[in-house]
């Protein structure tokens, strides 16, 4: 049998074409020769240098991927250096769209139960917050999606292929690099950044609504638990109370905060997650906003050390006012001041001894100094707790009505401050919401003391007209000004087991009671625990901060007249 000539091809002998080879992910991208066989000649366009061609091939024609590579490749070695000897054949091929019939590839690997988008958006490798992607299989954050990015390496090493951009909410498959447009992923995009329409926001307080998380646990949007990471319960109660102030809530849920400072953006996101009707979990975590607050306050308020809710509330309202464009000199220049800011008249007089009157604390009209100032939080002083109690009444806790401690602002009762005697009076118009701080803690040189006096109050129809100076031009004299309770922050002292001195090292536990307007019910929220409460027993706790809402019918009646 004669041998086949070595130069004769097998296809010519059998007259059968060879099967087409499969296209590999890594292709040879050797530069094609020029029109003159690769030799440079005059009158012809020169070919780019090999290093430049490599950079062009890596960046690709896709503009968005180009930007991500330069921003989130994160290191100078994300783009090959001109002096490197790396072959062009190592450049991966990126797809702009999935192959036909494989549109849902890898989507079955998504695990929604491990996804938690409440934590700060930082790459788990580089700790960078630029161009962060979340792996939808394990829930971790990685930077970029270019060929040398952290997300790309994670896809190759672990085999997790589906990622969402935390800023644009676009979902990609890696290492192929194409975008997924399946409608089955809309629930994930909504949880990343919940957005409700104006009609849905306006119905939050009118239509009672129940929701269920992925574990089939029932919850009410707006009344969800908030994670206490270590000692941030003081923060949780303040945020919950502010999230139920209707004008403030609606503003941060509907307005675009993308061009505002980070503090306003993160507070807006947290409020929208509290009211999210399609959440994966029946609780939220304030970690992202807490990190920003710790940075802005120079670690005055952190998640590891407990602080006073009133101090945090005052700091947060002032900085939130600036973050939404408020002015430091012009009153009512932001939504924060429009909701909470009121006007107060302060009269002061130096104390002089008067033997003829027998009262060294008597006001002299001729020497009274009057000052008009603005407030956002009204401080209410408790009467001193009795030092001694008889044997039969040793377990009785003193009580005082809220209207009694409000007499501080009636313009008649006065207080002694240093060498002056001072009295206060509220002025029209009163703000839509009043913040009361019931002062329970005092410090001296030796110890911090707590006043356990219980403040009794109604949940509806608190008349503030006796504490406001009449002004017929702004409000009809003698007509009541009704306020209803919206939120009540309470304090509870828990004795530590290792304490040797009674009351010296009590642990402070903060809790907030919130009004559900749609059901006319009250709910108590303490960290992750949410339970129903009775309106008749709200005053049995040690109230510390209260939020009162002005009844709308008062405003409507005034406008009609």
* Backbone Cα Rg of the chain: 34
The residue written with tokens 């002032």 in the block is 318
Q: Give the Cα separation of 453 and 9 in Å (integer).
A: 102
Give the residue-averaged pLDDT of 402-431: 90
Give the residue-averaged pLDDT of 371-384: 93
Tokens at residue 138, please?
């394990």
The answer to whether residues 237 and 511 touch, using CB atoms and an 8 Å cutoff, is yes
pLDDT(366) > 60: no
Bridge partners (DSSP) of residue 430 are none
pLDDT(403) > 60: yes
Assign 397 a pLDDT band (cuts: 50, 70, 90): confident
Q: Which of 426, 453, 425 is nearest to 550 (CA)?
A: 426
Task: Write phi, then psi, for 488 (nearest 5 degrees).
Answer: -140, 115
Write out pLDDT tens, residues 484-522: 999 999 999 887 665 444 444 578 899 999 999 999 999
86/469: higher pLDDT: 469
Q: Give the Cα separation of 280 and 136 in Å (integer).
A: 13
Assign 213 a pLDDT band (cuts: 50, 70, 90): very high
Q: Give the Cα separation of 159 and 52 in Å (integer).
A: 31
Q: Give the Cα separation of 514 and 502 in Å (integer).
A: 32
440: which residues sit within 8 A by CB, 6+ positions away? 382, 450, 451, 452, 453, 491, 542, 544
pLDDT of residue 93: 66
Task: Write phi, then psi, for 296 (nearest 5 degrees).
Answer: -70, -30
pLDDT of residue 101: 58
Share of the chain above pLDDT 90, in %: 57
Assign 42 a pLDDT band (cuts: 50, 70, 90): very low
What are the start-end ranges of the E strands in 316-419? 342-350, 369-375, 378-381, 399-401, 415-417
pLDDT(311) > 60: yes
Give the residue-averaged pLDDT of 74-81: 40
Beta 433-439 vs 369-375: how paired, if at all? unpaired
Assign 436 a pLDDT band (cuts: 50, 70, 90): very high
Query: What distance, in Å, lies between the first and last C-alpha atoms of the chain?
Result: 118
pLDDT of residue 396: 76
Q: Which of 237, 253, 245, 235 is nearest to 336 (CA)?
A: 245
The answer to whether residues 210 and 519 touch, using CB atoms and an 8 Å cutoff, is no
pTM: 0.79
Q: Give the Cα separation of 124 and 141 in Å (integer).
A: 6
Tokens at residue 12, please?
């010519």
pLDDT of residue 197: 94
Assign 400 a pLDDT band (cuts: 50, 70, 90): very high
The CATH fold assigned to 50-193 is: Herpes Virus-1 (3.30.40)
Give the residue-averaged pLDDT of 41-66: 45
Domain ranges of the chain: 50-193, 194-296, 342-375+377-560
Task: Please state, rounded to an integer, the average pLDDT across all residues of the chain.
Answer: 81
Share of the chain above pLDDT 70, in %: 75
pLDDT of residue 55: 43
Bridge partners (DSSP) of residue 484 are 549
DSSP 62: -
The region of weakest confidence among 43-57, 237-251, 264-278, 311-325 is 43-57
The CATH fold assigned to 342-375+377-560 is: Cathepsin B; Chain A (3.90.70)
Instruction: Please state the length of the chain.
Output: 561
H-type helices in 109-222, by residue range?
A: 150-158, 186-192, 198-202
Assign 78 a pLDDT band (cuts: 50, 70, 90): very low
């Amino acid at each position: 049998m004669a041998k086949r000539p070595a130069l004769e091809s097998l296809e010519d002998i059998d007259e059968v074409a060879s099967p087409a080879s499969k296209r590999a992910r890594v292709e040879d991208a050797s530069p094609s020769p020029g029109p003159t066989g690769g030799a440079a000649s005059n009158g012809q366009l020169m070919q780019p240098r090999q290093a430049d061609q490599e950079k062009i091939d890596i960046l690709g024609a896709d503009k968005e991927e180009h930007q991500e590579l330069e921003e989130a490749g994160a290191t100078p070695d994300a783009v090959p250096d001109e002096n490197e000897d790396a072959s062009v054949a190592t450049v991966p091929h990126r797809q702009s769209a999935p192959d036909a019939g494989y549109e849902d590839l890898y989507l079955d690997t998504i695990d929604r139960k491990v996804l938690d988008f409440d934590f700060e958006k930082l790459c788990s490798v580089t700790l960078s917050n630029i161009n962060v992607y979340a792996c939808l299989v394990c829930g971790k954050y990685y930077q970029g999606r270019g060929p040398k990015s952290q997300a790309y390496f994670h896809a190759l090493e672990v085999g997790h292929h589906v990622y969402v951009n935390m800023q644009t909410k676009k979902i990609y498959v890696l290492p192929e690099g194409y975008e997924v447009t399946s409608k089955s992923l809309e629930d994930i995009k909504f949880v990343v950044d919940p957005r409700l329409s104006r009609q849905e926001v306006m119905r939050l307080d009118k239509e009672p609504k129940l929701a269920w998380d992925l574990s089939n646990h029932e919850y009410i949007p707006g009344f969800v638990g908030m994670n206490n990471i270590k000692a941030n319960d003081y923060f949780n109660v303040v945020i919950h109370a502010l999230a139920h102030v209707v004008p403030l809530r609606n503003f941060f849920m509907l307005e675009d905060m993308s061009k505002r400072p980070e503090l306003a953006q993160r507070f807006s996101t947290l409020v929208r997650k509290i009211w999210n009707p399609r959440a994966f979990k029946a609780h939220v975590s304030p970690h992202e906003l807490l990190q920003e607050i710790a940075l802005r306050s120079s670690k005055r308020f952190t998640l590891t050390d407990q602080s006073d809710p009133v101090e945090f509330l005052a700091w947060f309202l002032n900085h939130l006012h600036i973050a939404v464009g408020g002015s430091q000199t012009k009153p009512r220049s932001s939504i924060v001041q429009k909701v909470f800011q009121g006007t107060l008249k302060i009269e002061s007089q130096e104390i002089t001894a008067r033997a003829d009157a027998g009262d060294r604390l008597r006001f002299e009209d001729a020497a009274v100094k009057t000052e008009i100032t603005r407030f956002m939080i009204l401080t209410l002083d408790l009467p001193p707790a009795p030092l001694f109690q008889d044997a039969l009444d040793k377990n009785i806790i003193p009580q005082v009505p809220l209207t009694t401690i409000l007499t501080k602002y009636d313009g008649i009762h006065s207080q002694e401050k240093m060498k002056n005697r001072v009295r206060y009076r509220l002025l029209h118009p009163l703000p839509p919401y009043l913040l009361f701080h019931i002062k329970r803690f005092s410090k001296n040189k030796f110890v911090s003391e707590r006043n356990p006096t219980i403040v009794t109050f109604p949940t509806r129809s608190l008349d503030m007209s006796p504490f406001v100076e009449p002004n017929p031009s702004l409000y009809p004299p003698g007509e009541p000004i009704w306020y209803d309770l919206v939120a009540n922050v309470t304090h509870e002292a828990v004795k530590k087991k290792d304490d040797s001195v009674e009351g010296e090292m009590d642990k402070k536990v903060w809790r907030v009671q919130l009004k559900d307007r749609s059901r006319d019910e009250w709910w108590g929220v303490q960290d992750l625990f949410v339970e129903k409460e009775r309106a008749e027993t709200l005053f049995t706790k040690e109230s510390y901060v209260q939020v009162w809402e002005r009844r709308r019918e008062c405003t409507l009646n005034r406008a009609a007249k």
